[in-house]
Structure 1
């Protein structure tokens, strides 16, 4: 006679066979996201589309592969993957896919309503069948003039749960709007750099791209492209662009890059590049609308420094459409706001054919790490890793609020803590802190950091990667004890490097202004990486790809160590002026070697080129 193991649960005996069918909650929300109102039930016969994320067969394969192709001492260094091979890094096992498909068949989903895309199964199903399949009830939820079908909780059988990461859209309430002007409404970190109107200056001397010498003293109050090229020892002659060389800057939330503003900027600050243009790409319905009354601050900053510093390397502007309301509010980002469509952006890049893939991407957007649902952040970070295996360098800013403004957790516990930023803390991107001045450059903060303080810190979500373990441990041994109650000592540390982030002139709405923020540092460093990758291509070598293993093992020798300055944060008031936890004198100090405010320091192109070649 067949013996069946028995499990005792809450005083009842259940067979192991029946336990397999017990529903297990996958995802749930305590309440309806702000701004949405629940209304009637949808028709049970209405069809909806669901995407089922499957657990990868080998959770370590992505991490192992990206470090192999990015470690300069590994025999696979530079052997970047094809699009299909990169996607396969998160591929589920055949058994997992088979089990989930069998389950779908059992609940009435016909095979012709299932599309298999490896790590995702996309299905078309009626509301009635979906409710039975997920042990839930769907409702209509309305916001503005849009209604969607969603639920606040769903479950799957116990034996299926281990194969599934997520089933969406169910508990995610993303809203994709394409017409709203968001420039004046966003309050999250790094979207708004400090812009100060300035007078038009003469373009006849070296600081403005003219034939004369460059005065570094004047660069302290106006860090022009010529100043940056001088400060970071960038090549005086513009290189020839190699085949496959491309530098992409990214805009979210209807942000644009204006072509006429770029030409005026080049006329004033890089006259020998006047007429050089950029190309456009679009993801998720994004548009780079030209003309008046469109948001342009961030987009103009990025494109003007990408073009002027990367010289004649092709530069592209990627407009990513939509907004994302699936975030967790806190004192600095209240209910009713929105964040970037990170997943749509990452999937767009991952799916590009090799001939359209940029060698470098600069992103000047972000928020606190705690704003993103954990599973969503991990999913996007893994996509960044997959993109890295294809040879793309992803450059992001460290943030402009130091340790955080309203230093309080948003998990219901209201814990006083430092607030790491996203995507800075993802281990598969290179994060850039901000500096100011020259001779010497210093880690940048505005006074006590009330208006601006360069970001830096330690992730609460991602563990510290091996490539930075040695230098971070050394820093923490000497400087980490004072604030140990407020950060994760085992988290991914950032920034990795730094670049000038103060007093950069930008052409906006027909006026020249000065910008301060790590949003400026990201495209500046990105331009240097684009030049390095271009030189490697010209010599028949692969592009730089994911940079961090190379930087921490070898490339750090090509940076100027920043040993002066500190950042600030947690001063007792939120971005909205509300009371918040205060941590007196909180801040990280710049020291010799790596530190969580300037990383390894600022780049010296000549040294980096020798190390890269």
Structure 2
């Protein structure tokens, strides 16, 4: 673990280096830029890559002013700021963070001095990336690296190296280079004839325990069955939208995950008013489709859950936007979705890196043949996602760059919610970290999730109404079927907005685990808040079943915050945007129902405890809608 964290610290140091100029680049010494400590599970090194093979090098240029992005975001998000709610336009963001002319010039000059012909060095339209199509031999000489071909158990192949270097004078101008060390993958086994995506996000849930025998519609049964009326009672969500046309709530799904309209109608008939026959507004990204050829829990459970509860809680008056990402063949990654929201995030000519993200047009039979979506989608005010990676699946550089993109969207007034995971302090699938940074089911070190650990999103954990208790009693941390994901990041430092809350927790409830088991150096802590995640009655594939997971918690919180936005917009105010600086502030004390019982086990431990105040199991607690509404309306 020590070596793993040292690598993280080394890269963080590299990212923070000031821009400098070297008078004579030819004498600049080489420095390690990124290194991978292990080959991820499921991959094996097959052979040395052929020297004459073509390889598309893409160099992510350091963004200007990125060191100030947190201050910019706090300026429009902290309730004490005079600029609260004065969100930026996309044009302002593009201008503020575009790489400098010096960075472009320095990296381009290095490439040309190294023998790359000028016509082969291409700058992306957003000026964020330089692209060079080279041979493996040339790339190895440029990066002081050695490329190999790796095989995955699914049949997919991947090109990567163990480490790479850059000249010292170039390092301050480069975030990272692809393809290099990255294995940003959540792969599913499929038929060998179907292409398998490199980087589709994994799902932290949901889980099911099977069919519901008899449905109860009374509040007295919420310890056995969670239905919309239970959630309204738990969180005080009795509200009818009045500014729905000016507001927006988005839910993200990744193909082949998709809802069935018959399931939405079945749920609406039992639990909703006016929603039978109503569909979410589909925004197809990179060929995203509502597929009906594979109907089963794995493909329909997530989407059905998110939409049935999200649409019902915001009522028929408020439209819900479904962002369906990726075609049926190739699928997609978080980056593909972010490209569609912000054109400045696209890598090169509107495309992505084929070693990490889905690339469109998809030339496979049946694939999406259109141009990849790049800055084509208007983000809704609130966006909920119930998919995640383990933080350790990604390199620090890749995670940091994506995290900064969430900050940019927060500057635009978008609230991003991510489920915190369903395996307690362990990663998705119950895997934990080993000392060398690898992941396994017998690992002993806590394994946080991502993007939940990004300080610019709101991570949502899970609670439950425990057996024998009522909705009028405090909830407990979820310990039925799943455990609320939580803990401390290995990549991101602690943001200022949560420092007081986390320090109070650590002081009042000292953590007894050895320092190597979790990151005890003062890092980003999660989750931020939580909501019920157990016993959801959900219509899936024509039957009502029980579903569990932070997958349920995130869209519920999204619906609540969407109603807060409705009330603000109706009064001529801006959406709430990035909420973390506000909810951790003293002015929001009492805005959440404190959760003080339960743990989030994993990695051979009981995990952490839910306690008074913030804790790394349930965060600040569950939403108290009337209280939150009154607090946000005065800002």
Please say which of residues 601-610 and 20-29 is displaced more in the overlay. 20-29
Which runs of structure 2 are paired with 1:518-533 in the superposition (5 Å)? 518-533=550-565
Within a 5 Å distance, the mapping from 1:414-563 to structure 2 comes to: 416-437=444-465, 438-446=471-479, 451-483=481-513, 485=515, 486-489=517-520, 490-553=522-585, 556-557=588-589, 559-563=591-595
1:137 Cα deviation from its structure 2 partner: 5.1
Aligned to 1:83: 90
SS of residue matched to 1:165: strand
2:338 paired residue number: 346
- Which range moves more in the overlay, 404-413 or 96-105? 404-413
CA contact (8 A) 2:219 2:229 kept: no
Displacement after TM superposition at 1:459 (Å) = 1.6
Tell me the equivalent position of 1:158: 168
Equivalent position to 2:62, from 49, 55, 66: 55
Is 1:19–1:158's contact at 8 Å kept on the other side of the alignment?
A: no
Q: Return the alpha-carbon distance in structure 2 between the equivalents of residues 172 and 582 of structure 1.
A: 29
User: Which secondary structure does the structure 1 equivalent of 2:74 belong to?
Assistant: helix
Match of 1:299 in 2: 303
Query: Equivalents in 2 of 1:401, 1:147: separation in Å?
Result: 29
What's the offset of the Cα at 1:412? 5.0
Cα distance in 1, alignment partners of residues 187 and 413 from structure 2 = 32
Deviations, residues 369-407 of structure 1 (Å, cap 9, x unaligned): 223222222122111111111111011122222222454
For 2:394 and 2:105, the matched residues in 1 are separated by 31
Q: Which of 218, 221, 243 is equivalent to 2:221? A: 218
Q: Is the 8 A contact 1:370 1:410 kept in 2?
A: no
Q: Which residue of 2 aligns with 1:92?
A: 99
Tell me, in whole angstroms, the C-alpha distance in 1 between the residues paired with 2:334 and 2:201: 17
Task: Pick closer, same or farther for the CA change 1:354–1:19 going to 2, 3 Å.
Answer: closer
Classify 1:140/1:582 alpha carbon distance in 2 versus 1 (closer, same or farther; 3 Å): closer
Distance 1:221 1:589 in 2: 24
Report the Cα distance in structure 1 between the residues aligned to 2:119 and 2:613, rounded to whole angstroms: 58
Give, in angstroms, the shift of residue 52 of structure 1.
0.8
Deviates more, 1:167-176 or 1:525-534: 167-176
- Picking from 172, 177, 183, the partner of 1:167 is 177
The answer to whether the 8 Å contact 1:53/1:165 transfers is yes
Report the counterpart of residue 333 of structure 1 in structure 2: none
Equivalent residue number for residue 235 of structure 1:
238
Distance 1:417 1:177, change over 3 A: closer
Deviation at 1:157, TM superposition (A): 2.3
Aligned length: 555
- 1:314 is aligned to 319
Deviates more, 1:25-34 or 1:247-256: 25-34
In structure 2, relative to structure 1, the CA distance for the partners of 1:263 and 1:238 (3 Å cut) is farther
Residue deviations 1:507-545 (CA, integer Å, cap 9, x gap): 111110111211111100000111111222222211110
Does the 8 A contact of 1:59 with 1:90 survive in 2?
yes
TM-score (ref. length: structure 2): 0.79
For 1:161-200, list aligned pairs within 5 A: 161-173=171-183, 180=190, 190-199=204-213
Which piece of structure 1 moves more, 435-444 or 554-563? 554-563
Match of 1:591 among 611, 619, 627: 611
Q: Are the aligned partners of 1:264 and 1:507 in contact in 2 as well (CA < 8 Å)?
A: yes
Partners of 1:487 and 1:177 in 2: CA distance: 27
Distance 1:446 1:138 in 2: 45
Report the alpha carbon displacement of residue 168 of structure 1 after superposing the two structures with TM: 0.9
Q: Do structure 1's residue 118 and structure 2's residue 118 form an aligned pair?
A: no
Residue matched to 1:332: none
Name the counterpart of 1:133.
142
CA deviation digits over 1:88-126, x for unaligned, max 9?
454333222211122233332324741242332233445
- Helix, strand or coil: the match of 1:114? strand
The equivalent residue for 1:288 is 290
Change (3 A) 1:198 1:319: same
Match of 1:335 in 2: none
1:590 partner SS = coil
Secondary structure, in 3 states, of the residue corresponding to 1:53?
strand
Give secondary structure in 2 for the equivalent of 1:612.
Answer: helix
The whole-number CA distance in structure 2 between the counterparts of 1:240 and 1:232 is 21
Deviation larger for 234-243 or 298-307 = 234-243
1:607 to 1:367, Cα distance in 2 relative to 1, 3 A: same
The offset of 1:417, in angstroms, is 2.9
Check the 8 A contact 1:224/1:504 in 2, yes or no. yes
Structure with max Cα Rg:
1
The corresponding residue for 1:66 is 73
- Name stretches of at least 5 consecutive residues in structure 1 with no aligned partner: 1-14, 208-214, 326-338, 571-580
Q: 2:436 matched to which residue of 1?
A: 411
**Preserved CA contact (<8 Å) 1:105 1:111:** no
Please report how far the alpha carbon of residue 77 of structure 1 lies from its aligned counterpart in structure 2 after TM superposition. 1.3
Structure 1 counterpart of 2:251 = 249
- Aligned partner (choices 579, 587, 596) of residue 564 of structure 1: 596
**Which runs of 5 or more residues in structure 2 are unaligned?**
1-21, 344-373, 466-470
SS in 1 for 2:71: helix
Equivalent pair of 2:462/2:477 in contact (CA under 8 Å): yes
Q: Distance in 2 between matches of 1:361 and 1:395?
A: 6
Return the offset for 1:484. 5.8
Q: 1:558 and 1:290 mapped to 2: Cα distance?
A: 45
- CA shift, 1:444, in A, is 2.6
2: distance between equivalents of 1:409 and 1:322? 35
SS at match of 2:132: strand
Pairing 1:27–2:34 present: yes
